[in-house]
């Protein structure tokens, strides 16, 4: 499913921090299948305002922290099962290690799926210190950047200081190497948008880390995300 040959060190950029934009991760047939069968089950609403950053979106587990067990596998299409298996593979970890120059072969990783519906956003932030690398994959067949929902790579803690803007189109992805200045944000999805901004994050953590999205004992009720 994943074309791991695309994950090469040559893709890395060093300004304003270490990151990469990598496209064409799947065949056209697989890209279409992933976009058409994007998950809508077992989501929870995640929101917070007035803290270090504002955020509002819907999240679903795909691979739990430190495990290659696929969450709610019975609800996933064949294409999504194949993608989850690739993300949990040793080959993916090896490719990401070679790309970033960080040994990610045995560190904890979790994979989550996201809907950013109308009004959803993610404020400027550099990621938590316990994160090493995040790979963001996108799944919209088409997208109008006037609807928001783009990943902005920022020069600093200023949402207007945009170094690059990445649209959430299927096959495209962004890799962020965490540092104190790895500022980025997701622009708010406009209220009248007729689709959600659809993405996945594979996040590699420092040993001993605990998931911030799914903390131990989390009993949040899960729900179906409306299909658009």
Q: Report pLDDT for 51.
A: 62
Q: Is residue 106 part of a domain?
A: yes
| Domain range for 128 | 13-205
Element (DSSP H or E) covering residue 177:
strand 173-177
Task: Say if residue 91's pLDDT is above 90.
Answer: yes
Q: Is residue 213 part of a domain?
A: no
What is the C-alpha separation between 228 and 143, in angstroms, rounded? 14
Q: Is residue 161 part of a domain?
A: yes
Q: Is residue 153 part of a domain?
A: yes
- The CA angle 96-114-58, to the nearest 5 degrees, is 145
Q: Provide the whole-model pTM.
A: 0.96
Q: Is residue 4 part of a domain?
A: no
Q: What is the mean pLDDT of the chain?
A: 95
Burial class (CB in 10 A: 0-12, 13-18, 19+), 17: buried
Q: Is residue 220 part of a domain?
A: no
* Whether the Cβ atoms of residue 149 and residue 187 lie closer than 8 Å to each other: yes
Q: What mean pLDDT is predicted for residues 37-42?
A: 98
Q: What mean pLDDT is predicted for residues 188-200?
A: 94
Q: Is residue 50 part of a domain?
A: yes
Element (DSSP H or E) covering residue 99:
helix 90-100
What is the C-alpha separation between 146 and 188, in angstroms, rounded? 10
What CATH number is attached to the domain comprising 146?
2.60.120.620
How many other C-beta atoms can be found within 10 angstroms of the C-beta atom of residue 50?
6
What tokens were used for 156? Answer: 């600093």
Q: How many domains does the chain have?
A: 1
Q: Is residue 183 part of a domain?
A: yes
């Amino acid at each position: 499913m994943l074309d791991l040959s695309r994950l090469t060190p040559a893709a890395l950029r060093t300004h304003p921090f270490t990151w990469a934009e990598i496209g064409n991760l799947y065949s056209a047939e697989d890209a279409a299948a992933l976009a058409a069968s994007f998950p809508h089950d077992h989501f929870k609403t995640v929101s917070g305002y007035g803290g270090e950053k504002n955020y509002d979106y819907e999240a679903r587990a795909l691979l739990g922290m430190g495990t290659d067990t696929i969450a709610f596998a019975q609800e996933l299409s064949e294409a999504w099962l194949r993608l989850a298996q690739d993300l949990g593979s040793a080959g993916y970890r090896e490719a990401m290690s070679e790309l970033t120059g960080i040994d990610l072969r045995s560190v904890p990783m979790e994979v989550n799926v996201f809907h950013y519906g109308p009004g959803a956003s993610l404020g400027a932030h550099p990621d938590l210190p316990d994160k090493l690398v995040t790979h963001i994959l996108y799944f919209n067949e088409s997208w109008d950047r006037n609807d928001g929902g783009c990943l902005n790579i920022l020069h600093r803690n200023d949402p207007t200081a945009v170094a690059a803007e990445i649209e959430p189109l299927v096959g495209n992805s962004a890799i962020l190497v965490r540092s104190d200045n790895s500022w980025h944000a997701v622009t708010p999805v406009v209220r009248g948008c007729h689709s959600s901004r659809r993405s996945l994050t594979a996040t590699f953590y420092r040993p001993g880390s605990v998931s911030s999205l799914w903390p131990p004992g989390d009993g949040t009720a899960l729900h179906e995300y409306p299909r658009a």
